[in-house]
Amino acid sequence: MITLTDITKSIGGRTLFENVTVSFNEGCRYGLTGPNGSGKTTLLKIIMGVEPATSGTVSLPKKVGFLKQKIEEFRHLTVIDTIVMGNQRLWDVLQEQARLYDVEMTDAIGMRLGEIEEIIAEEDGYSAESDAEVLLTGMGLSAELHRKKMAEIPTDRQFRVLLCQALFGHPDALLLDEPTNHLDLESITWLEAFLHNYSGTLVVVSHDRHFLNAVTTHIADIDYDTIIMYPGNYDSMLITKTAVRSRAEDENKVKEKKISQLKDFVARFGAGTRASQVQSRIREIQRMQPMDLKKSNIQRPYIRFPWPAKQSGQVIVKLDSIGKSYDGQSIFKNFSLEIHRGDKIAVIGNNGRGKTTLLKILAGKLVPDSGTITYGHQIDTGYFPQNHSEVVDKKSTISAFDWLKQKKESVYDQDVRSVLGKMLFSGDDAFKEVRALSGGETARLILGSFLITAPNFLVFDEPNNHLDLEAVSALAWGLDDFKGTSIVASHDRDLIGGFATKIIAIESDGIHVFDGELEEYFLRKDLSKK
């Protein structure tokens, strides 16, 4: 069990949560939710002792697994050693054992080595490497990577290793901050199954709605300067939270109407002969004061892509036998594809199989090594790269307002402010320098540019990476409502399921184009294996 008692955290003049007392129980899986900036990651750091609370105390079980984010701290270690470090007690005695074997043997050292052997046995140390390999295999890391140094493997694989580190050693509690980042759909499915079988206390932060719904038994929602616990998964929480808020607002409206009637009575008869009745009404007014409803911190951007400024031809783009290789390794070979006006396509597949390469070719940002690419009539492409710095100079001192205004000639200032408001840049936030924007703010700014320019062909590469749950839902609705053509690479099943009617799956046996929704594709794939 994890217990927080009277926890308060203030940053600058802002209070994230105040006098919070809450318990996370063994055997339960909690989703920690709230919009970007609400304090989810801060709370996890407070629980782990990485960051101090302004006040209050935290009680933890003996062994806690925590998903670390700083991969550079492990660059000189092997993959296996990095995972074993997840059990700090085991790792410490293994290091001590190695040191003692290098010095002259004495009775004291022999006794200590015997004690170390007992600790290793208690911590399942003799099966540590095989246990680590099972986790790595589940995360999609092949055996040839297991003995390499962390710095020698791709960055996304390093983050997977850190996730395995958090899961290693049978921790009594798990704290996972965005564990599905850098995971493909296959690895996310494996992680869901692993966590379902986990018997300790789980607290997870994720922007993947499908993952939260699949894994959690409770939601701990940061809102109204506190943490409110809801039974059930994320969708259940939303229904309950909305109903509670709506009921409180309705009760306030009823009270306000009644108070208005009572005040009218007092005003009419206050100076007359009905003094006792007037005083009774005054007391009733005092008792019936509406509840002071704090403003919820849940905000959802309004993402509705406008009608395209230009009408495209029937054929958007045609790839004919294209090929692309990197460092002698073939990514595509003789691949052909035709995208038609109105297509809504999701691109899925494990990391490293060429999703980004395909989108860059379609967006005209990359030239294939072989084959031809033909664009249709009046194609106007809106490209959202996985790396935001490809379109937003993160060193620039230009304001968000000016960056957006320069996207279209002769655009009115009020139109730019309107778009910024829809993307949750209110007040002075509109004039933040782009170099100071968070990942989520930068993502919303890029999306806002398409509301200004109105392209007819949207090419989005992992647009949900830095968006919170509400923003991802808004994006899915926007894509579904879009009157042009869109192709989106994503591992977020909720986003894909919200708009895509065609799937391009880059699998180990080639590229498959499927006419239908994501769940239909998975069903067809499962049936083909039987």
The Cα–Cα gap between 512 and 406 comes to 39
Q: For 102-123, what is the mean pLDDT? A: 87
Residue 219, in any domain of the structure? yes
Which CATH number belongs to the domain containing residue 3 in this structure?
Answer: 3.40.50.300
Residues 202 and 281 in one domain: no
pLDDT at 246: 61
- AA identity, residue 360: K
Identify the weakest region by mean pLDDT among 94-103, 239-248, 371-380.
239-248
Total domain count, the chain = 4
Return the axis-axis angle of helices 275-287 and 234-269, rounded to nearest 10°. 160
Residues 109 and 17 in one domain: no
Residues 521 and 411 in one domain: yes
Residues 212 and 94 in one domain: no
pLDDT at 255: 67
Q: For 406-410, what is the mean pLDDT? A: 90
Q: Which is nearest to 305 in space by CA: 170, 457, 502?
A: 457
Residues 176 and 163 in one domain: no
Q: How confident is the model at residue 333 (pLDDT cuts 50, 70, 90)?
A: confident
Domain edge (last residue) among 211, 232, 253: 232
3-state secondary structure 189-255: HHHHHHHHCCCCEEEEECCCHHHHHHHCCEEEEEECCEEEEEECCHHHHHHHHHHHHHHHHHHHHHH
3-state secondary structure 97-143: HHHHCCCCCCHHHHHHHHHHHHHHHHCCHHHHHHHHHHHHHHCCCCH
Residues 38 and 176 in one domain: yes
Residue 3, in any domain of the structure? yes
Edge-to-edge strands, sheet with 370-375: 329-340, 315-326, 370-375
SS3 358: helix
Domain edge (last residue) among 186, 213, 232: 232
Is the per-residue pLDDT at 263 higher than 90?
no
Residues 190 and 149 in one domain: no
Residues 143 and 184 in one domain: no
pLDDT digits (tens, 9 = 90+) for 281-325: 677 666 666 555 455 566 788 999 999 888 889 999 999 999 988
Residues 224 and 243 in one domain: no
Residues 159 and 178 in one domain: no
Is the per-residue pLDDT at 273 higher than 60?
no
Residue 295, in any domain of the structure? no
pLDDT at 409: 87
Question: For residue 115, what are the domain limits?
Answer: 77-168
Residue 5, in any domain of the structure? yes
Domain edge (last residue) among 193, 212, 232: 232
Residues 447 and 392 in one domain: yes
Residue 300, in any domain of the structure? no
Q: For 317-334, what is the mean pLDDT? A: 87
Identify the weakest region by mean pLDDT among 54-63, 211-220, 280-289.
280-289
- What global pTM score does this model have? 0.74
Tell me what the pLDDT averaged over the chain comes to: 86
Residue 206, in any domain of the structure? yes
Residues 6+ away with beta carbon under 8 Å from 525: none
pLDDT at 487: 96
Residue 391, in any domain of the structure? yes
Edge-to-edge strands, sheet with 14-24: 14-24, 2-11, 55-59
Q: What are phi and psi of 229, to 5 degrees?
A: -95, 130
Pairing of strands 14-24, 2-11: antiparallel
E strand or H helix at 383, and its extent?
A: strand 381-384
Is the per-residue pLDDT at 10 higher than 80?
yes
The Cα–Cα gap between 189 and 100 comes to 43
The Cα–Cα gap between 365 and 453 comes to 19
Percent of the chain with pLDDT over 90: 37
Sign of the alpha-carbon dihedral angle for 135, 140, 146, 152: negative
Residue 100, in any domain of the structure? yes
Q: For 459-480, what is the mean pLDDT? A: 90
Residues 470 and 331 in one domain: yes
